[in-house]
Amino acid sequence: NAGVTQTPKFQVLKTGQSMTLQCAQDMNHNSMYWYRQDPGMGLRLIYYSASEGTTDKGEVPNGYNVSRLNKREFSLRLESAAPSQTSVYFCASIPWGGGENTEAFFGQGTRLTVV
Q: Which residues bind other proteins (CB under 8 A)?
A: 4, 31, 33, 35, 40-45, 48, 50, 56, 58-59, 90, 92, 94, 96, 102-109
Nearest to residue 31, comparing CAs of 52, 13, 5, 7?
52
Ramachandran class of 96: left when φ > 0, alpha when ψ lies in -120 to 50, beta otherwise: left
Nearest-approach distance from CB 16 to other proteins, in angstroms: 29
Q: How far is the CB of 50 from other proteins (least distance, A)?
A: 4
Q: In angstroms, give the least distance from the CB of 20 to other proteins.
A: 19
Q: Which is nearer to other proteins, 80 or 102 (CB)?
A: 102
Cα dist. 33→16, 19, 36, 52, 94 in Å? 24, 18, 10, 12, 8
Q: Which is nearer to other proteins, 63 or 95 (CB)?
A: 95
Number of Cβ within 10 Å of residue 68's Cβ equals 20
- The DSSP bridge partners found for residue 75 are 67
Nearer to other proteins, 14 or 99 (CB): 99
Which of residues 17 and 51 has its CB atom nearest to other proteins in the complex?
A: 51
